Amino acid sequence: MRTPTLPLRAETETGSSGFTLVEMLAVLFIIALVSGVAVMGLSRRGDRASVAAIAAETASRARNARDLAVRTGRDTLLVVDLAARTISTRPSSRPVVIPKDVALEVEASAAERISASELGVRFFPGGASTGATIRVGPRRGAHEIRINWFTGRVVVVPPAS
């Protein structure tokens, strides 16, 4: 038995089917525009993620410095070098390096000035510290690492959305 099929082209159709060159170019332009906007959005999100990672690593170093002071019974110093753009723990640790395009500020009333560009936050064996606020990131979107002077507690405060 034979199944009836439709012809490839209707006999009443006039002209050709398909898209014109102008229509194809318009679609390609729209696709390029949408993908460009998507890439820009992803790169901004990546910058925010890297600043958040720097803030988390800095907070982790501060918590480790406090824990070391409590565990060993000796003062431990968290050093912020504004010129070298590093944050490290003394006696010794691998520093957190802050990229040049990320702002770095330290606000501390009782911080120790080690040199012209270095400030230190001291953690004591009882858990207390000299306290500080370290800001990492752009002015309006900076993450704050707050070190409480009384308890030595370290908290990361993300920027307000």
Decide the pairing of beta strands 154-157 and 118-123: unpaired
Report the pLDDT value the prediction gives residue 36, as an integer from 0 to 100: 77
Output the pLDDT for position 46. 44
Query: Across residues 91-113, what is the average pLDDT?
Result: 84
Q: How many whole angstroms separate alpha carbon 30 and alpha carbon 132?
A: 50
pLDDT at 56: 95
Percent of the chain scoring above 90 in pLDDT: 51
The amino acid at 37: V
Kind of pairing, strands 86-90 and 112-113? unpaired
User: What's the pLDDT at 78?
Assistant: 94
- Widest pairwise Cα distance in the chain: 97
Cβ contact 28:19 at 8 Å: no
- Segment 6-58, tens digit of pLDDT: 665 555 555 567 788 888 888 888 888 888 777 665 555 446 678 999 999 99
Angle, alpha carbons 132-133-139 (nearest 5°): 155
Nearest Cα residue to 131 out of 69, 83, 66 = 66
Determine the average pLDDT of the residues in 131-146: 91
Residue 148: predicted pLDDT: 96
How many other CB atoms sit within 10 Å of the CB of residue 98? 22
Give residue 10's pLDDT.
Answer: 53
Q: Is the pLDDT of residue 64 over 70?
A: yes
The mean predicted confidence, pLDDT, of the chain is 85
2 backbone dihedrals φ, ψ, rounded to 5°: -105, 130
Quick one: average pLDDT of 102-110? 86
Percentage of the chain lying above the pLDDT 70 cut: 82
What strands lie across the sheet with 132-136, from one edge to the other?
104-107, 132-136, 143-147, 154-157
For residues 156 and 59, give the distance between their C-alpha atoms in angstroms, rounded to a whole number.
Answer: 7
- With a cut of 90, say whether residue 87 has pLDDT above it: yes
pTM above 0.95, yes or no: no
**One-letter amino acid for residue 137 of the chain:** G
The predicted model gives 121-147 an average pLDDT of 92
Beta bridge partners of 90: 77
